[in-house]
């Protein structure tokens, strides 16, 4: 069996029946807890590996993966807009926590409480998923108002070190969300630390270029920064550095090990405390079949920089406070325009935004 097919299906597929033909066509029988169907597929070729353009290579790869599963059982993504934000997000998380799912199968999206249909609904789902990954879920986990899976400054985001999130397999969910969105043409997660991305795909922290801003904990960052210069530590600074070193099983600071200790503390703060999160994200990407592409084509971008982030129509629509009929009345003398006129104008604006394409978010330099 070709190496590409094995890479793509080894993690999910069970027993297979193979009938070789002259045109390299194979019949695969997928066996899982939630599916048992047959489909005619062709062997993957290596065009995506050799194509000079990374965007085109990614498109070739995803098209082939999707074609391998196009006759599979569709995945139904449903969200009830009549529920509160917390319940909607629980539905999303529970969907991506399912086991034995072929994430490359066709997607059917349904918004309960909304008459919208078509590709716009699918784009809305994936835009919502990426927004929640980047800015947090409105779930009260660990006595916090917003549960953020990623924390830190723009272009220096790293997975949260909260044990509750790790034990709940939420980073596995995050990996599946990222891979699923990428596979079906959704947006990507922007602003991750370059060092974290490097280790995620290259598995080597020794060659990662770390920056002090990659450490999301301000107190820890300040303590580590004491070792960055050549000025002698004060008694208070020495005490804080020593306390951090002992907590992480490292020797205390001396003039000889100062630079080495700075690098070790920073590496542990950014990467060492996020090993399990990295494994879960990687497994989620493997579950959605995008891992071979990301490891073989290093030029394919799954995590763009913040300056390269794209704003989708769905993101913009979700930020607009639309006129509500219950809050408007034709008898209100204070309104310059009647409710019907406002609703019609809002409908034109919504249609204009929905027909637009992704655009870069402009930020002050």
Q: Are residues 107 and 160 in the same domain?
A: yes
244 within some domain: yes
- pLDDT of 207 reads 86
pTM over 0.75: no
* 313 within some domain: no
In CATH, what number is assigned to the domain containing residue 289?
3.90.1750.10
Q: Residue 81 falls within a domain, yes or no?
A: yes
Note the pLDDT of residue 33: 34
CA proximity to 191, closest of 284, 309, 281: 309
The residues of the chain scoring below 70 in pLDDT are: 1-44, 114-118, 142-144, 308-335, 354, 356-365
Asked whether residue 30 falls in the same domain as residue 95, the answer is no
The confidence score (pLDDT) of residue 22 equals 31
Question: How far lies 334's CA from each of 303, 322, 326, 329, 343, in Å?
Answer: 48, 18, 16, 10, 17
Domain that holds residue 220: 212-270
Largest CA distance in the chain: 80
Asked whether residue 315 is domain-assigned, the answer is no
Is 247 part of a structural domain of the chain?
yes
pLDDT score recorded for residue 28: 29
Count up the domains in the chain and report the number: 4
Are residues 109 and 81 part of one domain?
A: yes
Q: Cα 88 to chain center, whole Å?
A: 18
173 lies in the same domain as 300: yes
pLDDT for res 46:
78
Q: Are residues 80 and 150 in the same domain?
A: yes
Q: Write down the pLDDT at residue 144.
A: 65
Note whether 249 and 297 are same-domain residues: no
């Amino acid at each position: 069996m070709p190496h590409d097919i094995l890479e793509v299906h080894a993690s999910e597929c069970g027993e297979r029946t193979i009938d070789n033909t002259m045109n390299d066509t194979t019949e695969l029988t997928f066996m899982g807890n939630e599916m048992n169907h047959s489909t005619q597929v062709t062997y993957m070729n290596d065009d995506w590996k050799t194509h000079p353009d990374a965007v085109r290579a990614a498109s070739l790869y995803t098209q082939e993966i999707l074609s391998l599963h196009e006759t599979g059982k569709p995945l139904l993504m449903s969200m009830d807009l009549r529920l509160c934000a917390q319940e909607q997000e629980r539905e999303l998380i529970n969907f991506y926590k399912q086991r034995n799912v072929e994430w490359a199968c066709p997607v059917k999206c349904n918004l309960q409480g909304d008459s919208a249909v078509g590709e716009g609904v699918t784009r809305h789902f994936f835009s919502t998923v990426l927004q929640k990954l980047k800015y947090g879920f409105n779930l009260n986990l660990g006595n916090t108002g917003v549960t953020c899976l990623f924390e830190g400054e723009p272009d220096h985001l790293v997975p949260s070190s909260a044990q509750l999130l790790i034990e709940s397999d939420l980073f596995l969910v995050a990996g599946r969300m990222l891979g699923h969105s990428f596979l079906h043409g959704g947006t990507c997660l922007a602003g991750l630390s370059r060092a974290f991305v490097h280790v995620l795909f290259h598995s080597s922290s020794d060659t990662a270029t770390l920056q002090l801003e990659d450490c999301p904990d301000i107190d820890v960052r300040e303590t580590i920064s004491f070792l960055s210069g050549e000025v002698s530590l004060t008694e208070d600074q020495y005490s804080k550095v020593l306390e951090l070193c002992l907590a992480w099983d490292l020797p205390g600071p001396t003039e000889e090990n100062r630079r080495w200790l700075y690098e070790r503390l920073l590496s542990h703060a950014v990467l060492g405390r996020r090993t399990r999160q990295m494994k879960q994200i990687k497994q989620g990407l493997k579950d959605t079949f995008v891992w071979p592409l990301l490891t073989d084509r290093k030029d394919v971008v799954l995590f763009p920089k913040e300056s390269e982030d794209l704003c989708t129509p769905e993101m913009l629509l979700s930020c607009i406070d639309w006129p509500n009929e219950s809050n408007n009345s034709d008898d209100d003398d204070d309104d310059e325009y009647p409710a019907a006129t406002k609703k019609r104008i809002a409908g034109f604006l919504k249609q204009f935004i929905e027909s637009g394409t992704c655009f870069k978010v402009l930020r002050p330099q």
